[in-house]
Structure 1
């Protein structure tokens, strides 16, 4: 013991020189005598503390290995226990646990106290090692070691931290059987656990039962439940609980009030929060706690969130008078940037510098993020220069915001240059930054560049994570290479990101054993991506097999995974299969979402089960799920196809009353249905309403024109086509050749000739075959001069070869300023026209309604989208 004490003293003298202390320890340990071994290991706790304090990880690993390989004697047993305790308290829980198990297997009869179990439990909780906690509890039971109340508190906390509140409650109920009485900390831990998983009512029940256990409620437990009620928007319940607090003799403190204010602001009820705040400022009359810095910042953030910038500015000025803080400035900056007030934000930055509060990297990143989200990339780039001039080095977040901004607008080359600039400035990109660029490269089909980036990510050690793998899996699914995507997902389960090595020879460099980590296992996004691709390809059997594998990996499917099956089954008309999935989904606790209803309405429509569509929409309303534009459009489409045009019209009226703005598709089905009836007057009403809401959309005009033409309404179709030519729309979706041919068959040669002249005068390129029936008609009429002119034009157009079906951009009368185009589009899109629409849909007018189409004033050219299939 004397020799051991000397070694300890020598080691302690060299605490500030840990490497020398370690060499001394090893020198004594290396002596061949067993006595030296005993002396050395008796000093193990001392050297362990020195190594831990110096964070000498390699030496700690070596000490750990030496102790596990040493023959333990009872004389050294206490030293080994001390080292276990030191490791457990110093974030080396894996080593502590391994050593404890080693001691437990060698000397089971010596481990009879609860202290070490408590220390290990504390370490496990700190590092969230629930598996260790479970083992320790079972071992305590096996060894018949009586737990203390403190032990139960640790176990309950561990379970609550893992959201296992039912298991935590079971343990709580077992405490009296084990001779332990719950204390106020036990109740506080379990109440907090209930509140964290969204069960504040269970927490309230527990609070009400405290006195039956002989434990008095405290303010902390009350505040925990009040905060939870507030987070869930249950402000009435929180108010009742605050009143109960007062009745129990507890004065609500600043924590109580800040919780209420925070919850109200998050809900957008900033005025209600403001009233509480004003009451707090008048505490000398009401006896309420005075607002603190947190209160002021909560109100500042709340006002900024809802755009009440004048009120926010008043709060901010008040904060500046009493307590300038970087956090308050950053909240105000973020509020200004979020609402596009960049000049004011710049002024705030200058104020900070003038007051000696130098903007932090976070302050600049707020500006950077806001500018990038608005697409103001040149201004965002200038921020980096400003930061450097003010002595602040851009970090990975700064560059990440700008890189994401470049990628979002397709400027991948600029993003690649920025990545090089980052590394040149010694700012190492992280996996998130690289994944942004990787996703954009893959999305644009620049596969070889994506491969090169992956290789560099691996070489630089940035870490290929699950997100990286998901990007590759998504890209392969998008390109139709499902087999390779499946292969990678299977490989991820075994090899982690090294599974990317299966992509081909160019990826061999990625196969790195160091990357085989749990952080690269497939997640729900991985499986959902693959499930969607398989279902889309009609490979339902393979999708079901993958779904089973996912559950085998203990990944509980969410509503997204279920909705994938429901959507694709419905799309293919397999309603019975879709409803079987729905039944299983609800059995597993996943409720129908908006996407679920949209898919089911689609499936019912395909099967022409119109009555059931009404039932589903009624169910949505009962459950408080608001239909969106997709819901309404799908329902309108199938109501129209089922000849329930009046119901479809009512649905269009309803969506506008609920402020769901209709789009082109909303009107497309109605116009087609009225023309099919036929009821051209009502079709015209809907068309005019559509134009007033959606603007001068080419798709609307082409639909109306083609329907009129198909119904033989040649005169109305001609008037509409002339309006189209005046607006400069492309003619690709207009069956103008059929109109010309039909007019010629009806001997309306002059009308057909007039249309052609207008198309040529407007600078249109079109199919020269359209001239043939008019040339023939003019020839039969004896108007050979005009027929020859058209024939020459036809030969000229045929020699060009390609049919453009649009206005020649070089046509003199169509030149105009780009800003005028932008303003023109804005003019037609800014007004939703709901008032006009509602008025129009409530009556059926005769003739063409509000004036005929020829009275429309010619508009500037506006190149617009074609129809797309929205199924």
Structure 2
């Protein structure tokens, strides 16, 4: 049968069976042979069937290639195969076909090489890309711009940017893709400045390439340079699109400039008529993560409501971002509610969703919650994976429950969920930090039995544990030994460790890294052993491990902690000479050091230097300067810093206002303190901590009426009074003959439904009793007893306050133990009669309107400056 006779029926049969590759291939094999080959386009059609997304049968394609090679002239069929669309033929099938074609006298055309190069690039075979390119040159084929672009992409993906640049410079013709590949290659390795040079060499700017470089600058934290490039795009008539704006918002959020990011986001929402792009799903997701990462949960909650209304909260990824934000900010209960909302909205949670909840519950450190998570897993709602089990293991190890941790490991084995190295390292870290060396040895033994080798991360955990337990010399000895012995150096810990280690090549590849040296240098600096720390720094440089800003910051922090600020400044200068750029944290450590020495002038010099170098001071920098001025009684110099912060788009936090309010109160300038308080509410919002702070300060200095006014405002706002000195205020009012105001305050507490310490009634009852107001005394006594009986025996957080100032007199009513009040000689007779009916004491109650929002930790003086390894 001739080819022409079989071609049409065969093609028709293939078309009818296109949805069934398992039928199409046998038909083709049966109806074609070396004596009756089909036309090449029929072969190509079958190849597309075999490699369709529904089939993806590389094995069937390989059978087809072997059949083609039996044809008298397979070259047109091989060409048809190799010239399939770019994402068609797998490399495992294409290479044998190419080798057969390459063996023919005439070389394959450039288009075939391009298809193979693209397949090799797609599968990450970068060395094969270079080999194929060299073969192309040897075959006499001419590489085109597409060929060279693929080669550049492969070189950049392999990190060989300089070689890619040589290819780029030698290209006789370039297109926009050439410039984009080169710019993206530079951005991948953190050289966005060089990528900007690529844009400069373009005949006309391209939106995609510019967006690539804007994103690169943003990832490197070079936000100002990204903004300049955006302005340049506008000047050259290239309108930034939503991708540009998303990169800017993401960078600002990562740099901690969330409010700046929100301004851009808000402009996109409100000013789109002026040509700005509308926010898309990515914009909303990035902004949500920015708010959550900054602890701005209230703002994030408003954004989530906007996303619900606009239809942007329908993807599991968006819910996961919000869930993660709630969990990170301590709102696990609300996160669980959100999980139920997902089910109601028809959004299917994935494994990552459940792992967020599990991780949050486990990190609360409550055994009940951990068991609850296990019950949740066994209910069948979720399928636990290695991440889920790792969270559980970490929780049990943190509690010291080794038996439960081992049980989880056994369950993983039964369920076929193999622990990975990260799982074992989490366990090892928990045990080692807790000093449970014997259990850590058992874990190492178990790792060895299951074929897991210790890696550098495992060794770093042990090194860190030694440093924390004041065994620094042993830790240094292990790091020294790792260069020659790998993890076998841990044998220095004793024979029990040596017996668990194997002398394998993988063990010897376990070498110290930057974290190993950072851990040692940090411990040495904390111990004041700076000469040894410097030796370790030189050693790591000699081993081709470049120190980063964190290591230099460690020296600066260590010197400042030991009062050696001049040496800390020398480290800063040396750091700059070595090409390691200091950042805001570096300067904040120096500022903290000079603040400890009450040297405000040096802090001002450092801040001026930061501005000259384009390093933006943050709220920590300003708070250090404010504190320095306030501690020296120079509050009038500290006050203008608030305006300067706002001018520089740095939002003051609670700590900023706390420092100023306390300083003004100490200086008896209460009107100025009130003005600062009013400014704090407009800047930080109606936060409990601010009202509590102001109320406490007024109370401390005997300003009872002002304190009462602040407390009444807090009650109207339904703010928790858990941290308010309400009992002292009531007693203080009674002491200055303002019992009517104290009585009114008690009534307001009851009317608003607050549950508070019944001892707060006593000053008012005593004062009214002295004035002979028996009816009011009886009424209040009955109310007090009702509250005492209702709250009897319940443990609740104390609402009392113990003043630090000598100006604040200790309250004689501070005791909340009912038996102590029972034996008081100065109690009113009416109260004594009622107390006889009470058998037990009471606790102190907080607000029944529980504040579900965790207070953001603003105590950032020194803790925020600590370097954690």
Q: TM-score, normalised by structure 2?
A: 0.54
Distance of 1:241 and 1:663 partners within structure 2: 39
The Cα offsets for residues 714-744 of structure 1, whole Å up to 9 and x where unpaired, read as: xxxxxxxxxxxx99xxxxxxxxxxxxxxxxx
Change over 3 Å in CA distance of 1:291–1:497 after alignment to 2: same
Q: Which residue is equivalent to 2:434? A: 444
* Residue 206, structure 1, aligned to residue 198, structure 2: yes
Distance of 1:460 and 1:355 partners within structure 2: 44
Q: Which residue is equivalent to 1:562? A: 552
Change over 3 Å in CA distance of 1:535–1:244 after alignment to 2: closer
Q: Which residue is equivalent to 1:523? A: 513
Q: Which residue is equivalent to 1:661? A: 655
Q: Which residue is equivalent to 2:85? A: none
Shift of 1:124: 8.2
Q: Which residue is equivalent to 1:470? A: 460
Residue 490 of structure 2 contacts residue 497 of structure 2 at CA under 8 Å; is this kept in 1?
yes
Bigger mean CA offset, 570-579 vs 659-668: 659-668
Q: Which residue is equivalent to 1:276? A: 268
Distance of 1:276 and 1:210 partners within structure 2: 29
Q: Which residue is equivalent to 2:184? A: 192
Which of 463, 467, 472 matches 1:482?
472
Residue 326 of structure 1 contacts residue 357 of structure 1 at CA under 8 Å; is this kept in 2?
yes
Shift of 1:816: 11
Shift of 1:523: 1.5
Distance of 2:485 and 2:558 partners within structure 1: 31
Residue 241 of structure 2 contacts residue 277 of structure 2 at CA under 8 Å; is this kept in 1?
yes
Q: Which residue is equivalent to 2:617? A: 625
Give the aligned CA root-mean-square deviation in angstroms. Answer: 6.1
Distance of 1:603 and 1:198 partners within structure 2: 32
Q: Which runs of 5+ in 1 are unaligned?
A: 1-15, 17-51, 55-81, 83-87, 101-109, 671-678, 701-725, 728-814, 830-848, 863-867
Q: Which residue is equivalent to 2:535? A: 545
Shift of 1:445: 1.6
Tell me the SS of whatever aligns to 1:390: coil
Tell me the SS of whatever aligns to 1:394: coil
Bigger mean CA offset, 192-201 vs 481-490: 192-201
Q: Which runs of 5+ in 2 are unaligned?
A: 1-21, 23-56, 60-81, 83-88, 100-106, 646-651, 678-688, 701-726, 729-790, 818-842, 844-861
Tell me the SS of whatever aligns to 2:523: helix
Distance of 1:519 and 1:630 partners within structure 2: 46
Residue 619 of structure 2 contacts residue 653 of structure 2 at CA under 8 Å; is this kept in 1?
no
Which of 168, 171, 177 matches 1:172?
168
1:208-357 equivalences in 2 (<5 Å) = 208-211=200-203, 218-228=206-216, 233=223, 237=228, 240=231, 243=234, 247=237, 255=243, 268=258, 269-270=261-262, 272-273=264-265, 275-277=267-269, 306-307=296-297, 308-316=300-308, 318-319=310-311, 325-331=315-321, 333-334=323-324, 337=327, 345-346=335-336, 349-350=339-340, 353=343
Change over 3 Å in CA distance of 1:172–1:659 after alignment to 2: same
Q: Which residue is equivalent to 2:767? A: none
Distance of 1:448 and 1:204 partners within structure 2: 56
Q: Which residue is equivalent to 1:360? A: 350
Shift of 1:145: 11
* Residue 385, structure 1, aligned to residue 375, structure 2: yes
Structure number with higher helix proportion: 1
Distance of 1:302 and 1:606 partners within structure 2: 33
Tell me the SS of whatever aligns to 1:531: helix
Q: Which residue is equivalent to 2:149? A: 153
Shift of 1:160: 4.0
Which of 181, 184, 187 matches 2:173?
181
Shift of 1:496: 3.1
What number of residue pairs does the alignment pair up?
Answer: 600
Change over 3 Å in CA distance of 1:466–1:332 after alignment to 2: same
Distance of 1:123 and 1:649 partners within structure 2: 68
Shift of 1:471: 1.0
Tell me the SS of whatever aligns to 1:445: coil
Residue 499 of structure 1 contacts residue 511 of structure 1 at CA under 8 Å; is this kept in 2?
no
Residue 89 of structure 1 contacts residue 119 of structure 1 at CA under 8 Å; is this kept in 2?
no
* Residue 395, structure 1, aligned to residue 389, structure 2: no
Shift of 1:467: 1.8
* Residue 583, structure 1, aligned to residue 573, structure 2: yes
Q: Which residue is equivalent to 2:733? A: none
Distance of 2:275 and 2:223 partners within structure 1: 26
Shift of 1:223: 3.6
Distance of 1:91 and 1:302 partners within structure 2: 44
Shift of 1:303: 7.4
Shift of 1:199: 5.6
* Residue 430, structure 1, aligned to residue 420, structure 2: yes
Distance of 2:797 and 2:598 partners within structure 1: 43
Shift of 1:558: 0.8
Residue 264 of structure 1 contacts residue 272 of structure 1 at CA under 8 Å; is this kept in 2?
no
Distance of 1:621 and 1:372 partners within structure 2: 43
Distance of 1:258 and 1:604 partners within structure 2: 39
1:61-210 equivalences in 2 (<5 Å) = 127=124, 149=145, 152-154=148-150, 156-158=152-154, 160-161=156-157, 168-169=164-165, 172-173=168-169, 175=170, 180-196=172-188, 202-210=194-202
